[in-house]
Amino acid sequence: MKKFLRYLFQYAILAVAGFFVYQTAFKREAPPAFHRDQWTQREGFMAISYGGLSLDEGPGTLTSKNRLREQLSALAAAGYRTITTKDVKNFYDANGPLPDKALYLMFEGGRKDSVLFSQPILVHTGYNASLYLYGDRLTGWSRFFVRSDELRKVAANPFWDVGSMGFHSKLINETPKGGYAYYLTARLAAGDGKPEETPEGFDARVAADYKRAYASIADETGKPPLGYVFMPANTLGVSLPPAIAKPNDAGLARFFPVAFTRVGESYNSRQADSRRLTRLQVDPTWSPDRLLLEIESRLPQSSFLDFSNSVLHGLWQVGAGAITANGQALTLAAPAGKDGFALLRGTEGFENFLCRVKVVPARGGAALIYLRYRDSGSYVRIQVTADQVIVREKNGHALNTLVNYVLPVDQTGPVALDCCVKNNRLLMRVGGKEISPYPIPLTAGTERGSFALGALGDTGGHKAAFSDLRLTAFPPRWLAAPALADASLDNLRTLTAMVLPAKSLTDDPVANAAALVTVAASGVVPFLNLSETDPAKVEAMADSVASAPASLIIAKLLGGFVLSLEDFPDDAVLARLEKRLRKKGFAVALRVTPASKNRLLAAEKLPRPDWLLFDMPPLSDAGDMTRLANRFDKSRMLFRTPGPDPEGAIYYDVKG
């Protein structure tokens, strides 16, 4: 009987292996259709991950096959479209476009059930997925993990990408009391007559693991793996000591352009480091509606006006402490010995925005407001105490104080803040009064980022209160004027750039420089219009900025130049000039007339300006608009709109 059961078990294994090969190699299905020529989105993508699949419908640690079918079908019905690892790489390396609801689907662990059970579901939904695995599990006999011969079939399957989780899967430094470490996160402890691993030995071991992880996939499949999952999550770039993190960062930089190092959040914005990406690990108990809710609560939004249900709906990612809502009032309580921190999901792409809030600082401490928060090393922070408001910026290791505003001695009740963040400037009022006679300058490193709240104090249990919070993002808006004196200075708060004629350098330059200061004081970036200038003289004109009268002011405030596509029949000449101007620190806006529109649509080698200014309304042909947005960043494409005076100023706006 035992012999019979053993044979039965072996035949079952062979049958499963045969089915695996059939599913991943011989069964021909129509490959996923990506329609990349229709993609126009460059803000970010969602990433979700599964640990494995099972046939069991009961509660467990793995998602059932039927539940996966329900979830992916719901995502497809909601308009989510999957992308490949190569698409992610192109998004970060070349500002490549993505579909509107881009989804990166991952299966971690390299389990056979992930491929077997999900393959028909991927075919049904037209989805692509990425299988992440350990290199040392590819050899030897295993009922659970994909082996080398099976890996080749998976890599050849158009529904699958293959990525790495490292080579060595086994834990290190295990102790009788249950202690352990992951292979790449600690030096080998002393034991069995061996001394503790040296720092040099650790660096060499880490480098070798990344090399073997890469080779174990590339050598078997003939395809270099692009993606990596670092284990354990939320350590690299967060809690790992620099001596441990440095060789890991070097290994990723050498072999893997895309790496997922964090879990908990699903959205990866264009500002994210391509080797510090995050994914949402799907809970096996989640219904399709719950999964959609978890994902969509993390999608970018342009305005936040009602915070009464923000805690209930999970809009706050709490890093430390607890946040509660009472109507429109929010209270952030910090844990003992730590500062409270809560990041507002959906604000990762905030660039230009208005913020109004009333703040009550923690007793004996401070209330904190973070603007353009990217990570613990990059943000703008407003610190409100009982007697002052301090604006600080961190870009790297140093936390620099930008403004220190002392509150009136008779200040009582909440402190009202009114902020406008645009370009690389912060305009701010406290209690209705400007706290600085000029815009507060910000570094380029804080160009975009999230909104967050904090509570700071010397003792535990401190609380900060925030009420009447309003957040509204606004798109770029440009104004072109025949002369600086003709420019309407209304609505300067939401104006982001002004195009001035080249003669501003020579015609009454001192007066124009003074007017330029007025414009720049509102955070508006001036551009000099060099349209209709001889291409051979454009660079000389740019150089003359440094020697023109009042050049110290003009050169300091000038953001860039406007060139006309019509003036450059040779695309190569235009590309070289753009490169040289950027090297001098100037941005380039390219003006497109109705006559040159078709040339831009048909160009094989595209110009790469920072902005496109169209001297026309948005194109009426939807196909042409899609083609433009596929080739250029649509958030940097501005179209002419009528101004109050047809003969005067011209406005350029993003297509609504």
The pLDDT score that the predictor gives to residue 6 is 43
Task: For residue range 460-507, list pLDDT tens digits in order.
Answer: 668 999 999 999 999 999 998 776 655 565 667 889 998 988 776 667
Per-residue confidence at 11, pLDDT binned at 50, 70, 90?
very low
Asked if residue 20 lies in contact with residue 154, where contact means CB atoms within 8 angstroms, the answer is: no
- pLDDT score of 395: 86
Say how many C-beta atoms besides its own lie within 10 A of residue 211's C-beta. 14
Task: Please give the pLDDT value at position 24.
Answer: 53
* Interatomic CA distance for residues 559 and 499, integer angstroms: 10
Structure token pair of residue 526? 């001036």
* pLDDT (tens digit per residue) in 30-81: 899 999 999 999 999 999 999 989 887 767 789 999 999 999 999 999 999 9
The pLDDT assigned to 522 comes to 78
Residue 515 CB partners (closer than 8 Å, separation 6+): 484, 485
314 burial (CB, 10 Å; 0-12 / 13-18 / 19+) is middle
Q: Which of the listed ranges 122-126, 187-191, 295-299, 305-309 does the model predict with the highest average pLDDT?
A: 122-126
- For residue 4, what pLDDT band results from cuts at 50, 70 and 90? very low
Whole-angstrom CA distances from 29 to 26, 156, 157, 474 are 9, 13, 10, 45
User: Do 561 and 528 meet the contact criterion of CB atoms below 8 Å apart?
Assistant: yes
CA atoms within 13 A on the CB side of 273: 17
CATH architecture of 303-473: Sandwich (2.60)
Pairing of strands 227-229, 267-269: unpaired
Of 137, 162, 138, 168, which is closest to residue 227 (Cα–Cα)?
162
pLDDT at 56: 79
The pLDDT of residue 9 is 46
The pLDDT of residue 643 is: 66
Q: Tell me the per-residue pLDDT of 262-284, one tens digit each, with 9 for 90 and over.
A: 999 999 999 899 999 999 999 99
Closest CA to 654 of 432, 362, 359, 352: 352
- pLDDT band of 25, cuts 50, 70, 90: very low
Predicted confidence at residue 10, as pLDDT, reads 40
Q: With a cut of 90, say whether residue 127 has pLDDT above it.
A: yes
> Looking at the predicted structure, is the pLDDT value of residue 18 above 60?
no
The pairing of beta strand 160-164 with beta strand 129-133 = parallel
Decide if pLDDT at 650 tops 90. Answer: no
**Per-residue pLDDT at 369:** 97
* pLDDT for 647 beyond 60: no
Hey, is 123 helix, strand or coil? helix
Tens of pLDDT, residues 384-405: 999 999 999 998 888 999 999 9
> Helix count (H) and strand count (E) of the chain?
14, 35
Check: CB of residue 98 under 8 Å from CB of residue 91: yes
How many CB atoms lie under 10 A from the CB of residue 164? Answer: 28
pLDDT (0 to 100) of residue 20: 54
Confidence of residue 512 (pLDDT cuts 50, 70, 90): low
Whether a cis peptide bond, with omega within 30° of 0, leads into 232 is yes
At residue 517 the predicted structure's pLDDT band, cuts being 50, 70 and 90, is: confident
Q: Is the pLDDT of residue 574 over 60?
A: yes
CB within 8 Å of 11: residues ≥ 6 apart: none
Residues 160-208: tens digit of each pLDDT: 999 999 999 999 999 988 899 999 999 999 887 678 999 999 999 999 9
Fold of 477-654: TIM Barrel (3.20.20)
Average pLDDT over residues 428-436: 93
Domains 303-473 and 477-654 share a fold: no
The residue ranges of every structural domain in the chain are 2-167+226-240+259-296, 303-473, 477-654
The helix (H) or strand (E) run that includes residue 340 is: strand 340-344
The pLDDT assigned to 5 comes to 47
The top-level CATH class assigned to 2-167+226-240+259-296 is alpha beta
Q: Which two tokens stand for residue 22?
A: 């059939």
Residue-level pLDDT at 194: 79
Over range 366-380, report the average pLDDT: 92
The mean predicted confidence, pLDDT, of the chain is 88
Q: DSSP for 86-109?
A: HHHHHHHHH---B-TTEEEEEEES
Question: What pLDDT does 549 receive?
Answer: 61
Query: What band does 16 get if pLDDT is binned at 50, 70 and 90?
Result: low
Locate tokens 């300091």: which residue?
Answer: 556
pLDDT category at 656 given cuts 50, 70, 90 is low
- Residue 111 Cα distances to 68, 311, 452, angstroms: 15, 37, 38
